[in-house]
């Protein structure tokens, strides 16, 4: 993957001056290009040199490094394999080789290379890296979440496409480095592709997003632009850009003795934009940008727009890049940045936050996962969060997975550079598919030795039992089943509801709650929505049978009232799950 897309720091390192020395030879020229992060141009020269001298281990290492830093992992694997064959190969080559083997799903070889590297380094990270290999291999063989994943081919290109966000009611925006022209000025020589810009789509056509930047004191589209997010009202946007301030205002980087050039870094900054006469303009700098010391970018907003989350490597964080937040004050200004804390941030990289309800989704390579950047979910706000949960395979992979976008946790989009895509980074959609609900013919009950052995589980009763019950009492109905993901009344359920309608006509003064319950295997939010639909469907059917709607209250409980210990993560048989998939009726008044 293009590291520029997965890590926060969009580094553009350019020449500001060259020492008055003799003309550099070919190798020196390649080294100079490499030091400027111009891997695309450096690689061409290193490959020529490697062809002339296949015994030069340093040249082989540099070829491998270029391929890795450009995101060409298949070629990087080939060249690191060559590099570690040289006696003088740097020990770090074993680490890079292991990372690429893990990414390419060669788990046994990856474990071996990690052991070689950490044996030399005596590093405590070895268990973490071996666990990543184990998790990746295990989760891919046995996916725990029933998501379907689709490559959004209409949006993706052979370049890097990522960072999808909603724009208005029907449109979306995303970030891409697809080349607009073959102009030399439009080429980013880190990888040979274009600079990132924001694009707009209605799901079919893709067009550049119009920004009226000409004459702006804050930025133009000379360098990287994107991603871009919007307030719910749609009148304000926050755009991540690579600063375009004149180079004379940027400090010179610290240089090692072998550098022959003065270098400077263009960091990320966050720009606020508003609409002026229908055009996105009126640009303002986010108050906590600091172009000489650190980057700020990749923002996300709470639903009410009063908290902004962003990624930064500013001082005071937990690691390389952290997620921070600011709270909007009564006068519309943003209060000082606060770190989201150790529950979210690690000593490595956390980035690309997004907010859905009270959940934070973000990417991390410092929390246990499958390798590369994985997507995590945590509940809370500001600096108080639950323990992050890895979304596992198929959302995560051994590649870089990031920029998760959802409104309901059951469908949405994310970005990844996994194998099988159209380009470097691609945009993927996902959707939840509930596991099959198997209907057990015999009466539900406990069988054998299981986790529910000591529980007294109530059994379904005939609806005629309601004729003698009092307020607060109720029963579990027999044979109220539904097809997977549906709330339609099936013939077997219809027969039971007809019997219930007959009882209600015999006791015309009672008022019932019709409640629907699910097992625990789907996401709780999904279960709650589905159970409410099913309860409402049962009530609607009873109304069609002549029962006054005012006598019926539909209520979905999802998986909040399990009758046994078949909670999330526990292994249970279908018979045990069946106990929880039930419909109940309770007398609430008379």
* 163 assigned to some structural domain: yes
Position 20 scores a pLDDT of 40
What are the pLDDT digits (tens) for 518-576? 888 888 888 898 899 889 989 998 999 999 999 999 999 999 999 888 887 676 777 78
Average pLDDT, integer, range 416-442: 80
How far is it, in rounded angstroms, from Cα 175 to Cα 185? 19
* 16 assigned to some structural domain: yes
* 410 assigned to some structural domain: yes
Q: Indicate if 472 and 552 belong to the same structural domain.
A: yes
The enclosing domain of 478 has a CATH number of 3.30.1330.60
How far is it, in rounded angstroms, from Cα 385 to Cα 438? 36
Position 429 scores a pLDDT of 96
Position 448 scores a pLDDT of 37
Q: Indicate if 369 and 517 belong to the same structural domain.
A: no
What are the pLDDT digits (tens) for 57-111? 899 999 999 999 999 999 999 999 999 988 778 999 999 999 999 999 999 999 9
Domains in the chain, number: 3
The enclosing domain of 387 has a CATH number of 2.120.10.30
Last residue in a domain, options 88, 115, 141: 141
Q: Indicate if 327 and 406 belong to the same structural domain.
A: yes
Q: Indicate if 355 and 322 belong to the same structural domain.
A: yes
Q: Indicate if 137 and 178 belong to the same structural domain.
A: no
How far is it, in rounded angstroms, from Cα 341 to Cα 335? 17
Q: Indicate if 162 and 131 belong to the same structural domain.
A: no
* 314 assigned to some structural domain: yes
* 456 assigned to some structural domain: no
DSSP string, 65-93: HHHHHHT-HHHHHHHHHHHTTSTT--THH
Q: Indicate if 295 and 359 belong to the same structural domain.
A: yes
The enclosing domain of 100 has a CATH number of 1.25.40.10
Average pLDDT, integer, range 421-436: 85
Last residue in a domain, options 141, 163, 189: 141
What are the pLDDT digits (tens) for 179-192? 776 666 678 888 88
DSSP state of 524: H
Q: Indicate if 168 and 296 belong to the same structural domain.
A: yes
- Token pair for residue 472? 């607060």
* 328 assigned to some structural domain: yes
Question: Which residues lie below 8 Å from residue 444, measured CB to CB, with a gap of 6+?
Answer: 457, 459, 460, 575, 578, 579
Q: Indicate if 504 and 427 belong to the same structural domain.
A: no
CA-derived radius of gyration, the chain:
29
- Structure confidence at residue 5 as a pLDDT band (50, 70, 90): very low
How far is it, in rounded angstroms, from Cα 24 to Cα 17? 15
Position 169 scores a pLDDT of 86
* 267 assigned to some structural domain: yes
* 64 assigned to some structural domain: yes
Q: Indicate if 238 and 374 belong to the same structural domain.
A: yes
Identify the top-confidence range among 215-229, 255-269, 342-356, 449-463.
342-356
| pTM for the model | 0.79
Q: Indicate if 177 and 137 belong to the same structural domain.
A: no
> Residue 87 region, left (φ>0) first, then alpha (ψ -120 to 50), else beta?
alpha
Last residue in a domain, options 101, 126, 141: 141
The residue with greater pLDDT, 53 or 553, is: 553
Q: Indicate if 213 and 117 belong to the same structural domain.
A: no
Q: Which domain holds residue 532?
A: 463-589
């Amino acid at each position: 993957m293009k590291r520029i897309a997965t890590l926060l720091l969009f580094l553009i390192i350019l020449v500001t001056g060259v020492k008055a020395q003799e003309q550099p030879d070919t190798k020196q020229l390649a080294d100079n290009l490499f030091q400027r992060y111009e891997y695309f141009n450096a690689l061409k020269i290193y490959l020529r040199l490697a062809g002339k001298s296949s015994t030069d281990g340093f040249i082989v290492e540099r070829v491998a490094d270029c391929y890795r830093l450009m995101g060409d992992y298949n070629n990087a694997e080939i060249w690191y394999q060559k590099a570690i064959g040289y006696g003088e190969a740097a020990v770090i080559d074993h680490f890079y080789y292991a990372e690429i083997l893990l990414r390419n799903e060669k788990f046994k070889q990856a474990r071996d290379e990690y052991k070689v590297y950490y044996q030399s380094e005596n590093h405590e990270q070895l268990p973490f890296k071996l666990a990543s290999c184990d998790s990746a291999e295990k989760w891919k063989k046995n996916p725990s979440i029933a998501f379907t994943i689709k490559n959004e081919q209409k949006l993706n290109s052979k370049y890097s496409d990522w960072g999808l966000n909603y724009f208005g009611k029907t449109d979306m925006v995303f970030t891409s480095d697809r080349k607009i022209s073959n102009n030399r000025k439009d080429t980013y020589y880190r990888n040979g592709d274009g600079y990132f810009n924001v694009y707009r789509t209605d799901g079919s056509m893709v067009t550049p997003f119009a920004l009226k930047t000409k004459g702006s004191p804050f930025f133009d589209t000379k360098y990287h632009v994107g991603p871009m997010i919007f307030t719910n009202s749609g009148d304000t946007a926050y755009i991540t850009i690579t600063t375009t301030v004149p180079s004379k205002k940027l400090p010179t980087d610290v240089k090692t003795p072998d550098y022959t050039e003065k270098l400077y870094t263009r960091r990320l900054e966050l720009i606020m934009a508003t609409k002026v006469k229908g055009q996105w303009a009126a640009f303002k700098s986010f108050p906590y940008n600091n172009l000489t010391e650190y980057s700020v970018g990749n923002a996300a907003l709470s639903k009410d727009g009063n908290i902004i989350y962003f990624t930064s490597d500013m001082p005071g964080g937990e690691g390389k890049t952290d997620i921070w937040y600011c709270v909007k004050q009564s006068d519309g200004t943003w209060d000082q940045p606060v770190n989201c804390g150790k529950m979210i941030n690690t000593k490595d990289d956390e980035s690309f936050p997004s907010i859905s309800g009270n959940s934070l989704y973000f990417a991390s390579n410092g929390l246990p996962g499958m390798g590369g950047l994985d997507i995590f979910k945590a509940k809370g706000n500001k600096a108080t969060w639950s323990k992050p949960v890895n979304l596992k395979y198929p959302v995560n992979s051994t590649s870089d997975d990031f920029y998760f976008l959802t409104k309901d946790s059951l469908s949405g989009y994310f970005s990844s550079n996994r194998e099988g895509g159209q380009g470097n980074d691609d945009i993927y959609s996902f959707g939840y598919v509930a596991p099959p609900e198997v209907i057990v013919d015999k009466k539900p009950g406990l069988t054998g030795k299981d986790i529910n052995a000591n529980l007294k589980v109530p059994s379904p009763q005939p609806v005629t039992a309601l004729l003698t019950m009092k307020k607060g009492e109720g029963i579990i109905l027999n044979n109220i089943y539904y097809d997977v993901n549906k709330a339609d009344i099936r013939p077997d359920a219809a027969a039971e509801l007809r019997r219930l309608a007959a009882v209600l006509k015999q006791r015309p003064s009672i008022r019932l709650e019709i409640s629907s319950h699910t097992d625990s295997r789907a996401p709780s939010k999904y279960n709650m929505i589905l159970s409410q639909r099913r309860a409402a469907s049962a009530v609607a059917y009873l109304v069609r049978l002549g029962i006054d709607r005012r006598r019926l209250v539909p209520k979905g409980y999802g998986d909040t009232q399990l009758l046994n210990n078949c909670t999330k993560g526990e292994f249970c048989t279908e018979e045990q799950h069946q106990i929880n998939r039930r419909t109940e009726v309770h007398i609430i008044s008379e």
